[in-house]
Structure 1
């Protein structure tokens, strides 16, 4: 055993061998050195345990296949691409909205070149970063003014801090939602310094409930769109227009947090209708906030639109600097919003809208195409079939509402269990996330691009170790 240790190559020899093969060009040398050391430590353990018992197994050529596999797995970026075959379009854990090609190009330009981020080209002096998106947001929504912060939670926080710190905010009891990450309206209200005054019942709130709650310490009337759950049956809620009239009577602004706000409607898809930002502004609501990376289909951002008198106050809040968006977000958001100037272009080029609106007939055809490629790559190692199924919008939008789709189902024919296949697919070169139904691993083409079909097939092949 002692003699075998002498035949283990040096780290420098392994590094030189890798350099000649040009296998890991671009990987930091310090990272390669660290991982080679770890690999050789494993080899030493194998020598001690009698797994390696011959010096011929310790030359570089013999160790190379295992060493390369170890280095590939350990040196690839931790944050990387994942194949989403779940059918959940706005998958919170998988990055939510995909950017359009024009938005992706805009981000690249913003990152690789200097820009007029805070420079007014018409005046040759310092400008505002928000000017790049404020006008287009106002044009699309009909609002007087707009501001963008880093997410909608931040938008809620800065609105409440600006307009209601130390004062009461009247909210319906049925709208005190909790979203992902334990973000609760009562908690964020407390952090903002505002005082929650809840009214009504869980399922029914009337205009007179708000009216009775108004007192000398009331600063704001607030609506929270329950986009991540539904209350059905014996229900009642007050519209933004009704609250606006009450607000005018008492000199109070009305604020609606739309959460996963959208700029288009999805009529004809069998989904319950969600209000658009334009409709809420048209009702007369003074301030509206919503996300940029959900149904809108852009980057992570919290968008605030509404009356100029209130937006001006919010913009002056010192918290705005801490919550402001960077140049990449600005570039992606402007490019996304420009597509909304032509609704047809938006539906065609914004991936989120395109995926949500894809027809069952189209998905059936795409499922057949995916099945053909899987059959070609995987052969007789799996049993393939199609199944009628459902997709989801996700991201807190249209909760518990289904979109019809056609699933491609994979059943391994060797000894591997479908649960093991699912787990193995998370550690392959291109991780694949799907779902299990009726003992089958199912792929939903709604959230896969056609150019990804062969990658999907190769990921499954790798997981099956064919």
Structure 2
């Protein structure tokens, strides 16, 4: 360690004097960044590896402040082709819905106030009737995600009791969250029946005891078991539950509200059909095929929903005014005759022919030299929905295929992610792809700017 290197380090006040006050906010955060950066340079000085002079250190810290003082969450152009990309926020919500909700929430709102009576109201009342009317349920409620919906429902309906589940449905979702762990954390005891590939109604019947609290059916949303298989249908479990006086709960995961098979979206399980079959409680996500905000929806028998609403856990997982307002607006705009207001569904139903037209139009305005130097071409692709939705189903799409001689696919990926308008594509083979299935049409000018910035 050289003492003269330590003398190069500026004080916090010295760096603060160099900052343009109009450019930054939150003084405490700025000081935190400065102290953290000075500590890093001090460590270098002690190790004898400090290469910068005092002025260069200050400039380096100022650059760091500039980077960290801007919002961490920023708009991204999703060019992966995966519409429900968990890393990119799952279901995108359109500007029209966002605008309506932001105007509504710019001040105070009647979240828990009944304006007619002047008495305290319930936040669930804003969306319960809407959900019920669409799904056919007697009552409904919303919590902050589907995992919370499952945990809360299990705890209320079967705490301290057995929950029967097929071994073929003991799923693990992203982040290593597993159904068996959820059942245990909810205070219930897991009872596995059948085998991984085959489960019969008799397996459930034999497992029922005086301590059985619930029969749970789980949609294997992120994988498929094929070949010599058998799974018991929900209506069969409902019939067994009625006979034994045991409620049946269905965790649908993605939650298909509309049957859009005539528009090219494969149909798996429509929520309305599951509830109509007699499922006591049905849970599903709001930010998948519903195209709304992150939330978990619980729909079913009124008597059971009433119990779940007053469970103490319901308070810990309740949704805020933003989620409830976004969900309400999403549900109100959901119509079979027009899904244009639902950005997620409109992206899904966009045909390859339409995507190819957009791709050719954008390709025509990319400078010829860039197209030639980086070998940009249009290629047909097949993509998945994402987020464990519609497993095994693919969608026809179109992508830019970039086979650059100057940059490796990994380098292209890095440069596009760090562009002024970040673009997230994917690498396949030895090429970089920009897939149009998940690209919002209003972002295409920004995409062009990023392509010129990265390849120019």
**Normalized against structure 2, the TM-score is what?**
0.88
- Deviations, residues 52-88 of structure 1 (Å, cap 9, x unaligned): 89x9xx69xxx98x88765543432222222210000
The residue that corresponds to 1:363 in the other structure is 355
Asked if residue 384 in structure 1 is aligned to residue 382 in structure 2, the reply is no
Q: Which residue of 1 aligns with 2:400?
A: 408
CA distance in structure 1 between the partners assigned to 2:137 and 2:252 by the alignment? 15
- Displacement of 1:458 in angstroms is 2.8
Residues 233, 358 of structure 1: CA spacing in aligned structure 2 closer, same or farther, 3 A cutoff? same
- The counterpart of 1:320, out of the listed 273, 292, 314, is 314
> Residue 25 of structure 1 corresponds to which residue in structure 2?
23
**Compared CA separation, residues 18 and 273, structure 1 to 2 (3 A):** same
**Structure 2 residue runs without a partner (length 5+):** none
Going from structure 1 to structure 2, the CA distance change for 1:380 and 1:27 (only over 3 Å counts) comes to farther
Comparing 87-96 with 371-380, greater Cα deviation is found at 371-380
Give the conservation status (yes or no) of the 8 Å contact 1:293–1:299.
yes
Match of 1:343 among 336, 343, 366: 336
Given that residues 143 and 305 in structure 1 are in contact (C-alpha distance below 8 angstroms), is that contact kept between their aligned partners in structure 2? yes
Does residue 430 of structure 2 align to residue 459 of structure 1?
no
1:434 to 1:3, Cα distance in 2 relative to 1, 3 A: same
Inter-partner Cα distance in structure 2 for 1:125 and 1:377: 68
**C-alpha separation in 2, matches of 1:178 and 1:147:** 25
Cα distance, 1:376–1:121 mapped onto 2, change above 3 Å: farther
Which residue pairs with 1:300 in the alignment?
Answer: 294
Residues 402-453 of structure 1: per-residue CA shift (max 9 Å, x gap): 1111111223343x22211212322333222101123221111111122222
The C-alpha deviation readout for 1:313-346, integer Å capped at 9, x for no partner, is 1112111111111111001000001012x2233x
Change (3 A) 1:424 1:124: same
**Alpha-carbon distance, 1:5 to partner:** 12
Partner residue in 2 for 1:177: 171
How many aligned positions are there? 452
Name which of 425, 442, 454 aligns with 2:433.
Answer: 442
Aligned to 1:239: 233
Aligned match of 1:187 in 181, 188, 202? 181
CA distance in 2, matches of 1:428, 1:271: 33
Residue in structure 2 matching 1:113, options 97, 107, 132: 107
Partner of 1:206: 200
1:412 is paired with a residue of what secondary structure? coil
Cα distance change, pair 315–4 in 1 and its aligned pair in 2 (3 A): closer
CA contact (8 A) 2:24 2:69 kept: no
Deviations 1:6-28 (CA, angstroms, capped at 9, x unpaired): 99999878867764xx9x63544
Match of 1:332 among 317, 326, 331: 326
Where structure 1 has 5 or more consecutive residues not aligned to the other structure, the ranges are none
The alignment status of 1:223 with 2:217, answered yes or no, reads yes
User: Which one of the candidate residues 284, 288, 296 is aligned to 1:290?
Assistant: 284
Distance in 1 separating the partners of 2:274 and 2:145: 20
Structure 1 residue aligned with 2:146: 152
Maintained 8 Å contact 1:103/1:331: no
Q: Relative to structure 1, is the Cα distance of residues 400 and 370 closer, same or farther in structure 2, using a 3 angstrom cutoff?
A: farther
- Write the deviation string for residues 353-387 of structure 1: whole angstroms up to 9, x where unpaired: 11111111111111112323433795655321011
The match for 1:421 among 394, 407, 412 is 412
Corresponding position of 1:276: 270
Identify the range of structure 1 (359-368 vs 99-108) with the bigger mean alpha-carbon deviation: 99-108
Is contact 1:425–1:433 with CA below 8 Å preserved after alignment?
Answer: yes
Structure 1 CA distance, aligned partners of 2:49 and 2:239?
80
Q: Is the 8 A contact 2:162 2:211 kept in 1?
A: yes
SS of the counterpart of 1:246? helix
| 1:256 alignment partner in structure 2 | 250
The normalised TM-score by structure 1 is 0.87
Distance 1:34 1:379 in 2: 45
